[in-house]
Amino acid sequence: MPVTGCKLTNEDCGLPDISLNDRQETVVGRSRETGIRNKRCSKRQGRALLQSGFVRGHGFWEESGEVPSLTFAVKLLADFARGTVHVTQLGPNSGRLSGRCLSVGETAVLSRGDRLSLLADDLTYVVTFEGTADAPKKASVKRKVEDEEMPRSKKHSTGGTSPNATGAEEDEHVKEVCEKLKQLQKNSRASASFPEGAQSSAAAIAAHASTPLLKPGWTRLSDHKVLLYCSPELKHKPKIAAFDMDGTLITTKSGKVFPVNSHDWRILLPQVETKLRSLLADGFKIVVITNQRGLAKSHSHESEFKSKVEHILKRLDIPAQVYVCSGHGFYRKPAPGVWEHLEKHGNGNVPINMHESFYVGDAAGRPANWEPKRKKDFSCSDRLFALNVGLQFYTPEEFFLNRPAVKFDLPAFDPRVVLDLPLAEVIATRSTNGKKFFGEDELLRTSTEVVVLVGYPASGKTHFAKKYLVAKQYVHINRDTLGSWQKCVSESENALAHKRSVVIDNTNPDVDSRKRFTELARKYGCECRCFVMDCSLERAKHNNEFREIKLKGEPHASVNDMVLYSHRSKFKEPELSEGFSEILKINFVPQFGDPEDEKLYRLFLKDK
């Protein structure tokens, strides 16, 4: 049977029912219409808010020319289709829902049969929906609640008439609320923003926190290979408590490193549930961010994993927002893509308070035996993710068990470090001039020569060749472009025959790969120099990831880690005896035309 109405029925004082319309906000407090006389449902607070020139509508505070006659303690919004009522605490004296106190600005969801106490120990109402098995009708409360104080006759007062605060304290609270709303009114047409390091007003939090996510359930962020789940009861909050999932909130029941199926999980620690509920009570939104590259292999795996996530949240009995990263690149931890999505699109325009938000994860870079008989962490992705986005970081042991921090290791390559280095340094030379360092203008030869570059893929060879050599009329020889080493030799010989210098832009890891070009230089009687790119394996991985992110969607040859490891296994340090007149080390000094590119490069993009 379709729902045709909704009301809150008072169960302990014989007060009139409070009727709610579908998707129309209603505010309720002390008034003649509700029959509520308890002074903790502050009438004066309601009047103060209204005199500030604001009414509540569409999820934000909006300036109004009229001041309706209204007093209130909570705001209610019924959704007949879903059979729910959203309740937002507006008054300073907390209401209670299912035994839990609501804080100012907090929004919770009620369904049929749930009980809401407007005060922590008084004024209890039961949610009923007409069209279902509801209670008999009582006199309903009109939508317009009059701004008139009820007579103070003791025989008509409801239970709990002794206020928690004195009248003077309440007046002081009213003044404070008025001042905050006056300040908020100045910015009511613009997007709200919390100053760094400052706490937002209770009214601002209330306005934002009551805005639900537009799409509860699963959403696919196709461009980023991310699945996003939002619990129906989830609310936007400025404080974010973010968690990894595997090894942080859950572990396997089987004891294996990886789950054997979608049912192989259990809550990691007994303290997890208590801690999460405490965070919700303190006004945090729970966000889970998990890397799950294996999901990209199978749609059936994806379906099972979605079900697993929903069962975990049901077991924990918490509303949460879950980001599942199944791809690689900018939207996979430790890169910050998911957090940027949360800030820009995933938090209902509520600015995130970075000082109070935090991230918890088990991939923390801890070495073997960080705890007796414990293996080293498989990566450092969680700690690096927190570093990238600027969040306080905790391991599960630190956060849930209050254990002290332990030793950890960051990756060998730190992209944040900026060194002031010369362009090139002499490693070995047949020259006697004693020069050790070269700048751009000193790097070139006036006579015909062959320059053989040596370095990992993604070590900067092509950028260096084009910027410093090809721009000075050196012929660019590249196997990726030409297709084979034989073609590289042929094109090089053709250039040398026409007295043109060449730069061999290949990895050239061993003696045999370099010998083809030293012999060619000897054949044409010209000098042959070797330029070794000073780029470690770790930096090459970082450079490659940076390149993949920048070139996403563009045709390019991807390089995986196996190619990099292959180069390392083949590498032989170049020597003058191979036929080189000089061997230079080319320092990797990245240059950026766009500040955003440099910002990206300075982040940790690899997890170890």
> Mind listing the pLDDT tens digit for each residue in 139-194?
444 333 333 333 333 333 333 444 344 444 444 544 554 454 444 444 433 333 33
**Chain segment 552-561, per-residue pLDDT in tens:** 877 777 788 9
CATH classification at residue 542: 3.40.50.300
Q: What pLDDT is recorded for position 48?
A: 35
Mean pLDDT calculated for residue range 422-442: 88
**Chain segment 267-309, per-residue pLDDT in tens:** 999 999 999 999 999 999 999 999 998 887 666 688 899 999 9
Is there a single domain that holds both residue 172 and residue 279? no
93: CB partners within 8 A, 6+ apart = 40, 41, 42, 73, 119, 120, 164, 165
pLDDT over 80 at 457, yes or no: yes
Could you tell me which residue, 179 or 62, shows the higher pLDDT? Answer: 179
- Judge whether 76 lies within some domain: yes
3-state secondary structure of 601: helix
Q: What pLDDT is recorded for position 41?
A: 57
Is there a single domain that holds both residue 192 and residue 235? no
- Residue showing tokens 């721009």: 471
Which band of pLDDT confidence, cut at 50, 70 and 90, is reported for residue 40?
A: low
State the DSSP H helix or E strand holding residue 56, giving kind and residue range, or none if neither: strand 54-57
Q: Which of 206, 224, 240 is the last residue of a domain?
A: 206
Is there a single domain that holds both residue 29 and residue 87? yes
**Chain segment 460-518, per-residue pLDDT in tens:** 999 999 999 999 999 999 999 999 999 999 999 999 999 999 999 999 999 999 999 99
Which band of pLDDT confidence, cut at 50, 70 and 90, is reported for residue 42?
A: very low
Reading across the β-sheet that carries 284-291, which strands appear in turn? Answer: 217-221, 226-230, 321-325, 284-291, 239-243, 358-360, 392-394
- Judge whether 442 lies within some domain: yes
- Judge whether 137 lies within some domain: yes
- Judge whether 416 lies within some domain: no
Is there a single domain that holds both residue 91 and residue 12? yes
Q: Which of 206, 239, 260 is the last residue of a domain?
A: 206
Per the structure, the complete domain to which residue 165 belongs is given by 5-206
Q: Which of 184, 206, 228 is the last residue of a domain?
A: 206
CATH classification at residue 293: 3.40.50.1000
Mean pLDDT calculated for residue range 55-80: 50
User: CA-to-CA distance for 106 and 110, rounded, in angstroms?
Assistant: 13
Residue pair 200/238 in contact (Cβ under 8 Å)? The answer is: yes
Q: What pLDDT is recorded for position 585?
A: 97
Pairing of strands 527-534, 582-587: parallel
CATH classification at residue 72: 2.60.200.20
- Judge whether 29 lies within some domain: yes
Q: What pLDDT is recorded for position 173?
A: 47
- Judge whether 419 lies within some domain: no
Q: What pLDDT is recorded for position 14?
A: 72
pLDDT over 70 at 199, yes or no: no
User: CA-to-CA distance for 98 and 116, rounded, in angstroms?
Assistant: 7
**Chain segment 135-149, per-residue pLDDT in tens:** 444 444 433 333 333
3-state secondary structure of 274: helix
pLDDT over 50 at 249, yes or no: yes
Question: What percent of the chain shows pLDDT beyond 70?
Answer: 77
Is there a single domain that holds both residue 242 and residue 201? no
Is there a single domain that holds both residue 13 and residue 151? yes
